[in-house]
Chain A
């Protein structure tokens, strides 16, 4: 035990002394959370728009009030002429203009139909699409309501009703994604590199010749990264709760339990890579291409797995990050308990045991 402690102490010295790496390890989750949280959002908020109300009747006012109430828009000023509009678009002052024709309510009441002109700045097509969708949805809402109170013989069903569904917000999806990504990176790559480093330096020989057991070498190497990763999990959760306003709905204890399980999975993966490789570069390349890429592609974090061809869907099942991502989503966002995610937990435990078994086996073969 004392031998183990002196080994762990040495490992911590390695980690703490390498300031640059340490900075990256702790800085990375913060930067990723902030980038995903604020910069890479699909939502379009507080867009400056212009409403030209040529009708000035009850119906147009009602719709304008609704648009005003929405936090997606900021009605800048009432421009009237089409030339002024054009200029405002050109300078990029406004993103969209909504024009009500004269006699809007009249037309609606007598002919049961009316037109609203929606002009969007399509130089940014994504924003334009999103904004026009928001507006059409607001108009459709109004229409539906009118139809009900007026008991008109026809109804128009809104097609985009889920648009403001909070479940489609950006943050809940990427926090679990960033968590699996960061843990994967820290645990797999750092563990693999730190073990392979001993091989490269020739210190591994010394350790093997010493009475210190090989399995202990591996455990002592993994321990600092386990602690580091737990700190990273705490950082990410704190950021997501206090900076991104994303509360943890489910049990925090369960979340930590599953996170530690996933960390252990990643550590064994790192150990496995280190057993199979002899240079730090190879270890790094395998960790990045072999682990990080599948995590990005097949965890369901960036691309929905259901849309993939069947072989890829099957493949996604052996990506540990997929199961962790599912569990974190269930706990953090849906607030589900262990009874809902025991299957995923079991699969992750299985993957971990399998990896542990084959890495220990190949570790022994190398020694013989």
Chain B
């Protein structure tokens, strides 16, 4: 099995404070990897290091085979990113947003056209192509944001709480998109606060106080902690946290 994310003792310190404390894990190609943790556990810092935005203090990590210290440019070309803000431009049309996000990855015009049309077709949004993003319902914005995050066909896509503030039905539909992307070989690295979503992941890691406190499939984790739901597993681990928010 090809491993697209390999972390070994990855650490980030800010002065005396160790935000991420020697985390070690691997993520396989096409896997949906849940990255859980309470607020302040160090999720965001870890994710920033993996995206090449922040240089680690120590440890090793490769993303899609590229080193996080030296090859950040290569990493950036091979990853996609989406945050809970959906990060689209409200004053541009659907089509313009697609063209722009594909454009900054240096994709050729012909390919932008083809990928964009495919995307609209898949989302059933051909009729909305010329509409302003501001006029779209939230669920559609979210799907569009995800689709633009993978328009350059990255190897890995990082989703930072992608379903924050969205109703359960829309969340469910969104996860269908995620499964589809994973089936196409894109690795999904997702953070979330919803434990039902954790169940959708193939494997889940739970961070507590900057360390990876648990890492396994949801069913194994439940067994290991004698819990019925992921919610109980998370609560069991998170309440031992010493760090506040």
Given the interface pairs A201-B85, A205-B81, the reply to whether A14 lies near B91 with Cβ below 8 Å is yes
Any chain B CB within 8 A of the CB of A13? yes
In the assembly, what is the distance between CA of A106 and CA of B53, in Å? 95
A202–B96 CB distance below 8 A: no
User: Which residue of the partner chain, among A5, A205, A206, contacts B101 with CB atoms under 8 Å?
Assistant: A206
A7–B104 CB distance below 8 A: yes
Please choose the segment from A162-170, A207-215, A238-246, A342-350 that sits at the chain B interface, where 4 or more of its residues have CB less than 8 A away. Answer: A207-215
B53–A209 CB distance below 8 A: yes
B104–A212 CB distance below 8 A: yes
Given the interface pairs A2-B103, A211-B106, A367-B53, the reply to whether A10 lies near B76 with Cβ below 8 Å is no
Chain B neighbourhood of A206, CB < 8 A: 81-83, 87, 101, 149
Question: Interface on A for B, CB 8 Å cutoff?
Answer: 2-3, 5-7, 9-10, 13-14, 17-18, 201-203, 205-212, 367-368
In the assembly, what is the distance between CA of A117 and CA of B77, in Å? 87
Any chain A CB within 8 A of the CB of B73? yes
Chain A minimum-CB-distance residue to B104 = A212
A203–B88 CB distance below 8 A: yes
Chain B neighbourhood of A368, CB < 8 A: 54-55
A203–B89 CB distance below 8 A: yes
Chain B neighbourhood of A367, CB < 8 A: 53-54
Question: Interface on B for A, CB 8 Å cutoff?
Answer: 51-55, 73, 76-77, 79-92, 96, 99-101, 103-106, 149, 158
Given the interface pairs A6-B99, A10-B100, A13-B96, the reply to whether A210 lies near B105 with Cβ below 8 Å is yes
Chain A neighbourhood of B90, CB < 8 A: 201
Chain A minimum-CB-distance residue to B149 = A206
Given the interface pairs A2-B103, A7-B103, A210-B105, the reply to whether A205 lies near B55 with Cβ below 8 Å is no
Given the interface pairs A2-B106, A3-B106, A367-B53, the reply to whether A18 lies near B91 with Cβ below 8 Å is yes
Chain A neighbourhood of B96, CB < 8 A: 10, 13
Chain B neighbourhood of A210, CB < 8 A: 76, 81, 101, 104-105
Q: Closest 6 A-B residue pairs measured CB to CB?
A: A6-B103, A202-B85, A209-B81, A211-B76, A212-B104, A202-B87
In the assembly, what is the distance between CA of A209 and CA of B80, in Å? 8
Chain A neighbourhood of B92, CB < 8 A: 10, 13-14, 17
Cβ of B187 to closest chain A Cβ, rounded Å:
15
Given the interface pairs A3-B105, A10-B100, the reply to whether A209 lies near B79 with Cβ below 8 Å is yes
Q: 7 new A-B pairs (CB below 8 Å) besides A201-B90, A203-B87, A205-B87?
A: A3-B104, A5-B103, A6-B100, A202-B87, A206-B82, A207-B104, A367-B54
In the assembly, what is the distance between CA of A358 and CA of B177, in Å? 44
Chain B neighbourhood of A9, CB < 8 A: 100, 103
Cβ of A194 to closest chain B Cβ, rounded Å:
11
Cβ of A280 to closest chain B Cβ, rounded Å:
14
In the assembly, what is the distance between CA of A205 and CA of B90, in Å? 16
Chain B neighbourhood of A3, CB < 8 A: 103-106
Chain A neighbourhood of B103, CB < 8 A: 2-3, 5-7, 9-10
Chain A minimum-CB-distance residue to B109 = A2
Cβ of B163 to closest chain A Cβ, rounded Å:
15
A sample of 15 cross-chain residue pairs with beta-carbon separation below 8 angstroms, ordered by A number, consists of A2-B103, A2-B106, A3-B106, A7-B103, A13-B91, A14-B92, A201-B89, A202-B85, A206-B83, A206-B87, A210-B101, A210-B105, A211-B73, A211-B105, A211-B106
